[in-house]
Amino acid sequence: MAENPDSLRCLVVDDDPLAVQIVENCLANTPFLTHAGSCTSALAAAEVLREQPVDLLFLDVEMPLMSGLDLLRTLRHPPLVVLITSNKGYAVEAFEYAVLDYLVKPISYARFLQAAQQAREALAGRIQPAAADAAFTFVKVDSKLVKVQFDEVLFVEALGDYVHIVTKRSKLIVYSTLRAIEEKFPAALFVRVHRSFIVSIRQIQTIEDNSILLADKLVPIGQTYHKEVFQRLNRF
């Protein structure tokens, strides 16, 4: 059967052959997913990812020599990632890498399909036209993905283990790191101004005394970010 050109190419990585087979069976029963290969080690997966494009990675956490999280640390531009593990204790660290979902073994097809549908929606957000007024991404709020229009965002603030994405209409509380959000937001539209803040360049009203005013929020410019911020803003 010919591959659906609109399907998501998926790589399965797990050192347990039975777990690999289960995920492969789930892939075979999901029309918008294509099985691009399976690996039984993170090292083998790293080689595959260097050689071929993959949209979605189903990745086991606990593997010998190199764990799934170790693999993610080596990837500069990782695909969408769904972690698969028998240990729920990795959830906090996993979301530092902006993983899409976290499946706990044994995996049911219903739960697999939910993650797959999230991946399809998230990828649709990634490949929207480059125009700022059309661009968006998805962020995970509680147990669901929420669309964030980039032109609606005022700023993003890190607060403990969460970030607050403040838009013109609402505030989204996302279990993530600021670094992970920074990677999802386009650098042409946003700038990191402080260890705790990212701001929308288009929403900046004034800059005075090392502070930025957006709507009614005064955001500080950190000393280590000062030079980069003003270099960026002077381009406009």
Burial class (CB within 10 angstroms; exposed 0-12, middle 13-18, buried 19+) of 62:
middle
- Looking at beta carbons, which pairs linking 43-46 to residues 24 or more positions away fall under 8 Å? 44/13, 45/11, 45/13, 45/71, 46/71, 46/74, 46/75
First to last CA, the chain: 51
Is-above-0.75 flag for pTM? no
Query: 73 vs 10, which has greater pLDDT?
Result: 10
Mean pLDDT along residues 202-219: 89
pLDDT of 231 reads: 73
Q: Confidence class of residue 53 from pLDDT cuts 50, 70 and 90?
A: confident
3-state secondary structure 37-74: EEECCHHHHHHHHHHCCCCEEEEECCCCCCCHHHHHHH
CA distances from 156 to 129, 133, 178, 214 (A): 23, 18, 8, 11
Where are the CATH 2.40.50.1020 domain residues in the chain? 132-233
Q: Domain spanning 8-126: which CATH class is it, in words?
A: alpha beta
CB 233 within 8 A of CB 226: no
- Cβ contacts of 128 within 8 Å, gap of 6 or more: 134, 135, 136
Q: Which residue has the higher pLDDT, 181 or 26?
A: 26
> For a pLDDT cut of 70, what percent of the chain falls above it?
86
What pLDDT, on a 0 to 100 scale, did the predictor assign at position 171? Answer: 93
Q: How confident is the model at residue 134 (pLDDT cuts 50, 70, 90)?
A: very low
Q: How sure is the predictor about 4, in pLDDT bands with cuts at 50, 70 and 90?
A: low
pLDDT tens figures, 80-97: 899 888 876 655 555 556
- Bridge-based pairing of strands 8-13 and 33-39 is parallel
Highest mean pLDDT among 84-93, 172-181, 224-233: 172-181
Residue 145 φ/ψ, nearest 5 degrees: -90, 135
Class of domain 132-233: mainly beta
DSSP letter, residue 191: E
